[in-house]
Amino acid sequence: MTFVLFGATGDLAKRKIYPALYNLFLNQKLPDTFLVVGIGRSSLSDREYQDRVTESLYTFSRHLVNDKAKKKEFVKKFRYTQLDISNADGYKQLLEIVEHNEQEFQIMENRMFYLSVAPEFFEVISFNIQKSGLGATKGWKRLIIEKPFGHDLKSAQELNEKLSRVFEEHEIYRIDHYLGKPMVQNLEALAFANPVLQSLWNNQYIANVQITASETVGLEGRAGYYDKAGAIRDMVQNHMMQLLMMTAMSLPKQISAQEIRGEKRKVMESLRLMDKKEVAKNVVRGQYGPGEVNSEAVIGYLKEPGVEDTSSNDTFISARLWVDNAFWEGVPFYIRTGKRMAEKSTKIVIEFKNPLKELYSKELQNTGPNLLIVYVNPNEGVSLQLNSKNPLNGEIEPILVNFSANKANVPEAYELLIHDALKGDSTFFAHWNEVELSWKWVQPILEAFEENLVPLQTYCAGSMGPEASDDLLDEDGFKWW
Ligand code: BG6
């Protein structure tokens, strides 16, 4: 297999892709013969490129680089090609390099094209892959791309149309790195493997579902991108929707990519679309002002370098969604995500109904509802909140039954996803249907924001978002957990 990596000198390659490949290599999960051809704009020798890869392993790899011989064996498989990605002729040369290596090292003609570049280059690269003959392999060819997939519904559809001239849907692996997070992949197993949960996973027992992905970081030097995208495109259209699908999907008849993606699609097809005039009732948009995060003073969004001081970009979104099917009718799903919030935490909370409370109000006054909490990030774990009698004072109180994974042994999202793509398993990649249906839900929100139909709330950096976000749940008699 030849791994053709566009954007080989970029940040993602350095932080995620090289360490992921290395850990797969150490765990013997890469094909016996493989080669990585890195492509970038700068001029580098193979040796210089290999040095960069080595450096990234020392800095970012999950497994420490202890075995020097192994590391050397790994790095030897990296070649570098300087290429102007819009110049069709350069691809002929690239084809020669790939073919030459395939012959020399007897590598099967399977080619993985990884586009770790800005999306405006997806089209030209895929076009040139086809034109040059790089895509005409005797084995398989596959494409891995990163978000953002389009800027709105129309641009996403156009992009998909262009990509699908070169790659068939089953050859396209759209990475949503949230789908690579072990606890997200664990969601179906939790319901599958536990009849107790399985029987409770519906609107008879569940009061609401809350999905939070809060971050403490601000712009991290990405103003150029983020100020146009906002939290709605950066997090909601992709990651939050994927978390929602994974939580709300019905158990597939069997665990296969086709079944799981089919169930996810059904969730999206049942998602209630909003008219842009209704958006303000169900969506809160916020932007952080100055404040304190982790005991450090931070500036407000409008003072961030690269952001216009009149920007109305959203750095926080919370929303109420409805999945109109027999399972979830009447159960609100709440999502919230934002930058510069109080803590870094991605979690899914299932709040169960609490009918007993009305019957035995006095005895149960200190109790809480049963909660199932799936911690996705930064720590992986599952908690179940039950009520139990405190032996010290005889009061019935909430207790937490906790499981948490040993962080050091948990593989990284990119490791799992690249491994799946190499095996041809697309279960945890976003299918075009999901992406399109998700844009369909987001589109009226984009329009409502543009037409200023939804007030932009300021929240203090270091908080959990604007008050309006709490009000959203309060209206239904709930609170964020
Ligand atoms: C990325 C977004 O997709 O996800 C970033 O572009 C965000 O803005 C990041 O910070 C969050 O990922 P994680 O894995 O740290 O929750």
What band does 198 get if pLDDT is binned at 50, 70 and 90? confident
What band does 408 get if pLDDT is binned at 50, 70 and 90? low
Q: How far is the CA of 191 from the centre of ligand 1 (A)?
A: 26
Residue 358 has pLDDT above 80, yes or no: no
Rg of the Cα atoms in the chain: 24
Distance (Å, whole) CA 147 – CA 338: 18
From the CB of residue 335, how many other CB atoms can be counted at a distance below 10 Å? 23
Q: Is the CB of 215 under 6 A from ligand 1?
A: yes
Ligand 1 mutation pick, 235, 317, 347, 416, max ligand atoms within 8 A of CB: 235
Domain membership of residue 85 (yes or no) is: yes
The CATH number assigned to the domain holding 128 equals 3.40.50.720
Q: pLDDT at position 366, please?
A: 81
From the CB of residue 25, how many other CB atoms can be counted at a distance below 10 Å? 18
Partner residues linked to 463 by β-bridges: 341
Q: Is residue 220 classed exposed, middle or buried when 0-12, 13-18 and 19+ CB atoms within 10 A define those classes?
A: exposed
pTM: 0.94
Of 89, 120, 146, the domain-final residue = 146
Statement to judge: residues 212 and 343 lie in one domain = yes
Domain membership of residue 73 (yes or no) is: yes
Q: What angle do CA 228, 229, 234 make, to 5 degrees?
A: 160
Sequence-ordered list of residues with C-beta below 8 angstroms from that of 4, at least 6 positions apart, any chain: 37, 39, 94, 98, 111, 112, 113, 114, 134
| ipTM (interface pTM) | 0.99
Distance (Å, whole) CA 311 – CA 301: 9
Domain membership of residue 175 (yes or no) is: no
With CA atoms as reference, report the closest residue to 430 among 114, 207, 175, 239: 175
Q: What is the DSSP string of 13-55?
A: IIIIIHHHHHHHHHTT-S-SS-EEEEEESS---HHHHHHHHHH
Lowest mean pLDDT among 143-157, 314-328, 354-368: 354-368
Q: pLDDT at position 344, please?
A: 97
pLDDT over 90, % of the chain: 84
Domain membership of residue 420 (yes or no) is: no
Mean pLDDT within 204-225: 96
Q: How far is the CA of 12 from the centre of ligand 1 (A)?
A: 12
Q: Which domain holds residue 127?
A: 2-146
DSSP state at residue 170: G
Lowest mean pLDDT among 115-129, 355-369, 448-462: 355-369
Distance (Å, whole) CA 470 – CA 472: 5
pLDDT tens across 180-191, in order?
999 999 888 887
Ligand 1 mutation pick, 15, 149, 234, 315, max ligand atoms within 8 A of CB: 234
Mean pLDDT within 255-274: 94
Mean pLDDT within 125-146: 95
Statement to judge: residues 219 and 93 lie in one domain = no
DSSP state at residue 2: E
The CATH number assigned to the domain holding 367 equals 3.30.360.10
What band does 251 get if pLDDT is binned at 50, 70 and 90? confident
Six-digit token string for 212: 């939070």
What are the Cα distances from residue 217, in Å, to 174, 208, 288, 339? 25, 28, 11, 6
Domain membership of residue 416 (yes or no) is: no
Statement to judge: residues 133 and 200 lie in one domain = no
Six-digit token string for 358: 């009305």
Return mean pLDDT, the chain: 94
Domain membership of residue 153 (yes or no) is: no
Statement to judge: residues 140 and 224 lie in one domain = no
Give the orientation angle of helix 182-193 with respect to helix 413-423, to 10 degrees.
70
14 marked as binding residue: yes
DSSP state at residue 4: E
Of 146, 166, 195, the domain-final residue = 146
Distance (Å, whole) CA 250 – CA 272: 17
Distance (Å, whole) CA 184 – CA 406: 16
Q: pLDDT at position 405, please?
A: 75
Q: What is the DSSP string of 209-247?
A: EEEEEE-----TT-HHHHHHHHHIIIIIIIIIHHHHHHH
Task: Give the nearest ligand 1 atom to 147 CA.
Answer: 3
Statement to judge: residues 194 and 329 lie in one domain = yes
Residue 363 has pLDDT above 80, yes or no: no
Statement to judge: residues 115 and 185 lie in one domain = no
Q: pLDDT at position 7, please?
A: 96
Q: Is 452 left (phi over 0), alpha (psi -120 to 50) or beta?
A: left
Which CB contacts under 8 angstroms, 24+ apart, belong to 437-440? 437/265, 437/268, 437/269, 437/271, 438/237, 438/238, 438/241, 438/268, 439/150, 439/152, 439/153, 439/156, 439/237, 440/153, 440/273
Q: How far is the CA of 277 from the centre of ligand 1 (A)?
A: 30
What band does 32 get if pLDDT is binned at 50, 70 and 90? confident
Q: Which of 100, 151, 170, 239 does the annotation list as catalytic? A: 239
Statement to judge: residues 288 and 404 lie in one domain = yes
pLDDT tens across 34-81, in order?
999 999 999 999 999 999 999 999 999 988 888 999 999 999 999 999
Of 131, 146, 161, the domain-final residue = 146
150 marked as binding residue: no
Residue 17 has pLDDT above 70, yes or no: yes
Q: pLDDT at position 457, please?
A: 98
Q: Is the CB of 160 under 6 A from ligand 1?
A: no
Q: Is the CB of 346 under 6 A from ligand 1?
A: yes
Mean pLDDT within 9-36: 95
Mean pLDDT within 383-390: 92
Q: Is 85 left (phi over 0), alpha (psi -120 to 50) or beta?
A: alpha
Are 209 and 231 contacting, i.e. CB atoms less than 8 angstroms apart?
Answer: no
| Residue reference for tokens 């080989």 | 8
Mean pLDDT within 387-395: 88
**Catalytic status, residue 239:** yes
Residue 406 has pLDDT above 80, yes or no: no
Statement to judge: residues 110 and 198 lie in one domain = no
Domain membership of residue 196 (yes or no) is: yes
Statement to judge: residues 7 and 90 lie in one domain = yes
Domain membership of residue 422 (yes or no) is: no
Six-digit token string for 342: 């109080």
Q: Strand, coil or helix: what is 292?
A: strand
Number of domains in the chain: 2
Residue 409 has pLDDT above 90, yes or no: no
Statement to judge: residues 135 and 245 lie in one domain = no
Residue 360 has pLDDT above 80, yes or no: no
pLDDT over 70, % of the chain: 99
Q: How far is the CA of 350 from the centre of ligand 1 (A)?
A: 23
Give the orientation angle of helix 153-163 with respect to helix 122-132, to 10 degrees.
10
Distance (Å, whole) CA 260 – CA 430: 11
Q: pLDDT at position 407, please?
A: 67
Statement to judge: residues 214 and 304 lie in one domain = yes
Statement to judge: residues 126 and 209 lie in one domain = no
